[in-house]
Structure 1
Amino acid sequence: MPLTDAKIRTTKPADKPQKLADGGGLYLEVRPTGAKLWRYRYRIAGKENVFAIGDYPNIGLSDARELHRKARGLVEQGIHPSHNRQAERLANNAANANTFEAVAREWMAKKSAGWTPYYLRQVENFLSGDVFPYVGKLPIRSVTAAHLLEIIRRIEGRGAETVALLVRQWSSAIFRYAVATLRADSDPAAALKGAIHRPKVEHRKPLSREQIAEFATALDEYGGYRTTVIALRLMLLTFVRTVELRKAEWSEFDLDRAEWRIPAERMKMREPHIVPLSRQAVELLRELHTHTGGRGLLFPNYRNPKECMTATTLNRALERMGFNGKDSIGFSAHGFRATASTILNEMGYQSDVIERQLAHAERNKVRTSYNQAEYMKDRRTMMQEWADMVENMMKPKEGGEQCQD
């Protein structure tokens, strides 16, 4: 006769263990200590075995019958329920060890060798701030598209659409890595492609020829550090990326040969870059050498000389000069690149020469090598002609007006 809850509750311990059968090999063992334990007796290959289902009342009668039903299904397949439970426990332990954060950090460690320090910090900071607090401790197999959608919508809600797009891309890369290492079955982030509206790209505003003349006047009247003035002039003459100038070291320069060689690890495209230096740039660098030549960096931080000039220094200077900030033309330090590119293209210089000097990516690797060798003479000529033209723009005309040609 099958067991009832009342029968189980009212059965008292005896001197010897008691077995209360429920049918199909399931029974409740009542021990002299008062413990009540669910057991399932079964046979595989003619050998009798006992599977410990659990204890009462933690597992009630209905739950015990459901677990018994599942165990009988395994026995019919020739699988010992205890072996199956052990395998599930190991799988769960592995899943708990392979949390989203653990796999993400492993992915970062694998990929970081090919990243710039800035990009690595960007990935770490946004994942740590926006993703790990919500799904970092979950087994990666249990993280769903719904989890990720909530995260990226939260980021989008604070107005950081670009960050939301990056987080989705990085999450997708993490899941693809997990799939490749057999710790996930699919990439749920892939389903979210298109869920975030990509913001319209605001291109860096360039200076017009007239504004270059205005910039020269504002720079002459700027009351800040002379090294900041030199940095801004060099940005205009060399049109390198701001980080390339801020972190420049004197060991990279050969002023006698009028050449600056930027190492690959500091370049966005991870390839070394040569900047031919105009006469005007060399003059500025020789002056700068009297200020910072005894140090490794061209532009050390005044508060911490071992570090370089901060990323905001140049833009704050432009803000004080009226070129950046509220009610301005919105010109940032990175805009010197757009300024040179726009005017040089207008002047008819070969686009390949301009693009090579801007250190933009060249997808054809054979062509990249060809450009580096073929265009160097043209780049030297262009850089000097650019500096001469800028110098002419910045000279005051008779009567105090400035040249605008």
Structure 2
Amino acid sequence: MALSDSKLRTLKPADRVFSESDGGGLYIEIMPTGKRRWGLKYRIPTGKQETIRLGDYPAYSLADARTWRDDCKALAGRGLSPMALKRGDPIPEDAAPAAKELAQFFIRNWCMKAVEKAKAKEAEAKAADTVEAFAWRWYAEIVEPANSNPRNIKRILDKDAIPAIGSKQIADVTVTDILAITDKIKNRGADQMALQTRNVLKRLFAYAIAREKTTFNPAAAIEAKFIAQAKSRDVALSPEEIGRLLRAIYQSSMKRAHKLALHLLILCMVRKSELTEAKWEELDLEKAEWAIPGERMKKDKPHLVPLSRQAVAMFEELKGLASGSEWVFPSRSSLKKPIAHNALNTVVRALEADVRDFVIHDFRRTASTHLHEAGFNSDWIEKALAHETKGIRGVYNRAQYADQRRDMLQWWADFVDSQIQDGRGKVIIGPFGKAYQSAA
């Protein structure tokens, strides 16, 4: 019984190889792996039976296979062997002109095209097995469905992994390649991010091994302790350290905009990227509000920051420093883009301050710690940090606490001021703007 496209699509593999006939010697073999391959049995005039194979289905359709069968049988009928021509044997000199012409047609249309198709298929397979292609497959199939916040992994792939090794075959990545990535991140002063990146790549290559794309996990071969010591961030600056740090910031030679940025990070309780990538369109200084859009937030939900008098005054000063840019903190090289992601980390590392080891993210923990100690409601503090409340409480607690947070953040700004001044006055900081001066 002749084959049909619908039957070909529904053929299921078995424990052993089996075949289905289309008639005229044409058949399709079905491998246990699910691969399907066209074959043809024919006889040449001497009576000798030969078998030739075309290639895989669906790369070669049923219509292709039937045309190929007819061409093969036409050749065999003139005494020529399609199998020998496919093998590359020369056309016999004593063959009739019509047979030679048919043989040349067969070589051009089947043998050479088969080689081209095989090369194209190999190139396609190689492209699918690059780190970039496989990483996004892993991200879509494994990471996104299983993670409530996959953006950190996407950021690692986009920023560090794919630019470095994206074009390499996943089986060709070495330990040296992984170390080059982590060393580059560590050189930015981000040891913990280097460790996170190694961990993400370790998961990626574990998946590649499971998919039989490689047999070696180069990230797993590097022990975590050789990259960085995993540590929980538990630094909360004391009131005295807040004062020493901010005085050191304002007495340093760093750019004024960077001084204000670090001060705002403490006052507003936002994440670094939420501040450094801020645009003026998000700020309403008349209402003393900063509306951060969801796409810039860790949880993809918009966040409203009530601004203290001090924060408003700082933003007013920054407006003048921005030189008309849409960005609150424009890059030094171009007003059309924000400052570099690691710009504030760099200035903090160069800072000489009598404060124990800390990172910028500790500003958020510092604020949270002192606000809790001052007796402020935990829900207000968590909302100010843009944290999600888990469980049943999170389902029912949808309040924004805007007024309470405004009072709380004003108290916090005044508290920070008192630590900076500590009897020293405001000279080292300098006036921020009209709102701050009028309230002072």
CA contact (8 A) 1:239 1:336 kept: yes
How much does 1:244 deviate?
Answer: 0.9
Question: Among 168, 171, 177, which residue is 1:133 paired with?
Answer: 168
Q: 1:106 to 1:318 in 2, by over 3 A?
A: closer
- 2:327 is the counterpart of 1:297: yes
CA contact (8 A) 2:272 2:360 kept: yes
Map 1:5-404; keep pairs closer than 5 Å: 41=50, 94=121, 96-98=123-125, 99-101=128-130, 103-104=133-134, 107=137, 119-120=154-155, 122-123=157-158, 125-130=160-165, 132-135=167-170, 147=171, 151=174, 155=178, 160-171=194-205, 186=211, 200-203=230-233, 205-292=235-322, 294-323=324-353, 329-364=356-391, 370-397=396-423
d(CA) in 2 for partners of 1:399, 1:41: 100
d(CA) in 2 for partners of 1:170, 1:292: 41
d(CA) in 2 for partners of 1:232, 1:399: 20
CA contact (8 A) 1:301 1:309 kept: yes
d(CA) in 2 for partners of 1:213, 1:55: 86
How much does 1:281 deviate?
Answer: 1.0
Report Cα offsets for 1:48-95 as digits up to 9, x if no partner. x99966699999xxxxxxxxxxxxxxxxxxxxxxxxxx99x9899656
d(CA) in 1 for partners of 2:86, 2:313: 88
The alignment's TM-score, normalised by the length of structure 2, stands at 0.56
Stretch deviating more after TM superposition (381-390 or 98-107): 98-107
CA contact (8 A) 1:204 1:332 kept: no
CA contact (8 A) 1:242 1:333 kept: yes
How much does 1:109 deviate?
Answer: 9.5
Report Cα offsets for 1:303-325 as digits up to 9, x if no partner. 211111223332333234314xx
How much does 1:209 deviate?
Answer: 1.1
How much does 1:131 deviate?
Answer: 6.1
Q: What one-letter code is carried by the residue in structure 2 that aligns with 1:375?
A: Y
Q: What one-letter code is carried by the residue in structure 1 that aligns with 2:201?
A: V
How much does 1:234 deviate?
Answer: 0.8
d(CA) in 2 for partners of 1:315, 1:221: 17
Report Cα offsets for 1:363-405 as digits up to 9, x if no partner. 55x85575452533332222111111111111232799x9xxx
How much does 1:201 deviate?
Answer: 2.9
Q: What one-letter code is carried by the residue in structure 2 that aligns with 1:305?
A: L
CA contact (8 A) 2:241 2:355 kept: no
Report Cα offsets for 1:246-271 as digits up to 9, x if no partner. 11111111122221110111112111
Aligned-pair identity in percent equals 28
d(CA) in 1 for partners of 2:136, 2:359: 37
Q: 1:152 to 1:283 in 2, by over 3 A?
A: same
How much does 1:226 deviate?
Answer: 2.0
d(CA) in 1 for partners of 2:332, 2:87: 71
Specify every segment of 5 or more residues in structure 2 that has no aligned partner in the other structure, as ranges.
1-40, 52-72, 90-112, 184-193, 429-440
Q: 1:197 to 1:378 in 2, by over 3 A?
A: farther
How much does 1:214 deviate?
Answer: 0.8
CA contact (8 A) 1:253 1:261 kept: yes
Q: What one-letter code is carried by the residue in structure 2 that aligns with 1:291?
A: L
CA contact (8 A) 1:153 1:164 kept: no
Q: What one-letter code is carried by the residue in structure 2 that aligns with 1:163?
A: T
How much does 1:293 deviate?
Answer: 6.8
Q: What one-letter code is carried by the residue in structure 2 that aligns with 1:338?
A: R
Q: How many residues align?
A: 314
Report Cα offsets for 1:260-294 as digits up to 9, x if no partner. 11011111211111111112111222222233273
Q: 1:128 to 1:377 in 2, by over 3 A?
A: same
How much does 1:352 deviate?
Answer: 3.1
The alignment's TM-score, normalised by the length of structure 1, stands at 0.60
d(CA) in 2 for partners of 1:119, 1:386: 34
Q: 1:368 to 1:298 in 2, by over 3 A?
A: farther
